[in-house]
Amino acid sequence: MVGQLVSGRALQPRTATLGWLLDERGSAIDQVLTTLFPAPASYTGEDVVEISCHGSPPVLRFAVERTLALGARLAEPGEFTRRAFRNGRMDLVQAEAVRDLIDASTLYQARVAVRQTAGALSSKLRGVKRRLVELIALLEAGIDFAEDDIEVASREEILARLAPVREAVRQLAAGFAVGKVVRGGLRLAIVGRPNVGKSSLFNRLLQRDRAIVNAAAGTTRDSISETATFDGIPVELVDTAGIRMAQDDIESEGVRRSWQSLQDADCALVVVDLSQSPAASDRDLWRKVNDSCPALQVGNKVDLPAQDGFSEPLARVSAKTGEGIERLRESIRERALPGLDALHEGSFVTNIRQERLLRVALEALGKAADAAKGEVPHEMLLLDLYEALEPLDCITGSTTMDDILDRIFSTFCIGK
């Protein structure tokens, strides 16, 4: 088929060859580069031919239509990656990371995803699985010898072998708290009494004059949100109406929305005005917010003469001059993503499918540990260990049902 589509020298494996894209009468439509990737050393593990055209939409459309006329069909969403998975070129964690890489909106997200496609998380999982399988093999061997009354593994040994497996799975599952934010970003609500400078701070963090700022209290009436990037992590900033006893219906709806924004937030900034004496409502708000999500207290207007009496810790900034804003960004990152630095060079679970399976494995491992402590027969203990092994297999796709695969690959874009 390629010969009818493209003219030029015979294709050499993995070498780009210059040629002409031909129409049905054999006349040239475009000058193209064609590369042959013979199986098994291709993305999908099958024979692949790539044709690089100039970017003109009619030429591209022609190339696709002509290819279809010659017998090809369009790929389903995710079909190339699904074939790569089926042919053992990558496991499911790597396949999902391909999607994360395509969807990445910051370089940092791309870095995390590309480490995953290279197998960083997969190799961690393989290590955990290997230890678990070794323990299973040991116990299975013991059962064969049960009649001879030979104890192949003592209770202590089983527990000692189980502990690192449990700890590794626990750490992987805990990493999701960070992975979720790295992949999906963070929602940060800015709340406080009227006029403390929430909108000014919102604009400053956004580096854009988005929200209306005014000396009159009660300027912001509705929650508004915009996305900024803090160190490669997308942060959706939400500016809210000042919280106080509302003076009319519109304001009271605004205040209701402020509370709603807080509930939906992953993290909050509670802003106070350092040039005004602290009010009881500042402390109440701080207490309430702190109960619902990770929060930081921000003392704004440091450029003005300060009043005393604010409780620490307090990030001191001036939305007007920009003083303290860089430090505030760092504090937000530390507060919302504790442990990111430790995990920075590592790899972590970034999707909920993987996290759920880890939790299932963890529960089974917990049951296994209880069983081992209770001197339960090894047959019973083995059931728990197999129950832990299965979800770990599902994560990498060693055993995965077709409908789950359908769901995963249908979220890919067409052509990958």
Ligand X SMILES: Nc1nc2c(ncn2[C@@H]2O[C@H](COP(=O)(O)OP(=O)(O)OP(=O)(O)O)[C@@H](O)[C@H]2O)c(=O)[nH]1
Three-point CA angle 175, 177, 181, nearest 5°? 115
250 contributes a contact to ligand X by CB under 6 A: no
Per-residue buried b or exposed e for 149-185, using 16+ beta carbons within 10 Å of the residue's own CB = eeebbeeeebeebbeebbebbbbbbbbbbbbbbbbbb
Restricted to residues 297-326, the positions that interact with ligand X (CB under 6 A) are 300-301, 303-304, 318-320
Give the nearer residue to Mg ion in terms of CB position, either 219 or 331. 219
How far apart CA 416 and CA 211 sit, in angstroms, is 40
Cα 122 from Cα 93, distance rounded (Å):
6
Helices marked H in 30-88 — which ranges? 57-69, 79-86
Q: Which does 303 bind (CB under 5 to 8 A by kind): ligand X, Mg ion, none?
A: ligand X
Q: Which residues bind Mg ion (CB under 5 A)?
A: 198-199, 219-220
d(CA 102, CA 129): 29
User: Is the distance from CB of 381 to CB of 139 less than 8 angstroms?
Assistant: yes
Interface with ligand X in residues 198-227 (CB under 6 A): 198-200, 213-215, 217-220
> Least CB distance from residue 186 to ligand X, whole Å?
21
Identity of the residue, 298 or 358, whose beta carbon is nearer to ligand X in the bound complex: 298
Phi and psi dihedrals of 172, rounded to 5? -60, -45
Q: How far is the CB of 235 from Mg ion (least distance, A)?
A: 18
Instruction: Note whether 221 and 250 are within 8 A (CB).
Output: yes
Backbone φ and ψ for 300, nearest 5 degrees, come out as -95, 165
Query: In the bound complex, what is the minimum distance in angstroms from residue 203's beta carbon to ligand X?
Result: 8
In the complex with Mg ion, the residue whose CB is nearer, 122 or 220, is 220
Per-residue binding string, ligand X, 127-146, x by CB under 6 A, is --------------------
Dihedral sign of CA atoms 120, 122, 125, 129 in order: negative
Q: Is 195 in the site for ligand X (CB under 6 A)?
A: yes
Q: Which is nearer to Mg ion, 221 or 333 (CB)?
A: 221
The yes or no reply on residue 257 touching ligand X (CB under 6 A) is: no
Nearer Cβ to ligand X (212/414): 212
140, 145, 147, 152: CA torsion to nearest 10: -80
Residue with tokens 């069909």: 73
Compare residues 243 and 388 and give the one whose CB is closer to ligand X. 243
**In this structure, which amino acid lies at residue 234?**
P
Name the residue nearer to ligand X (CB basis): 318 or 396: 318
Shortest distance, CB of residue 41 to ligand X, whole angstroms?
A: 59
* Closest approach of Mg ion to the CB of residue 211, in Å: 6
Smallest gap from Cβ 191 to ligand X, in A, equals 9
Nearer to ligand X by C-beta: 37 or 286? 286
For residues 323 and 300, is the Cβ–Cβ distance under 8 A? Answer: no
Q: How far is the CB of 322 from ligand X (least distance, A)?
A: 9
Name the region of 185 (left: φ>0; alpha: ψ -120 to 50; beta: rest): left
Among ligand X, Mg ion, none, the one that 196 touches (CB under a kind-dependent 5 to 8 A) is: ligand X
Binding string, 271-300, against ligand X, x = CB under 6 A? -----------------------------x
Contacts with ligand X, residue ranges (CB under 6 A): 192, 194-200, 213-215, 217-220, 242, 300-301, 303-304, 318-320
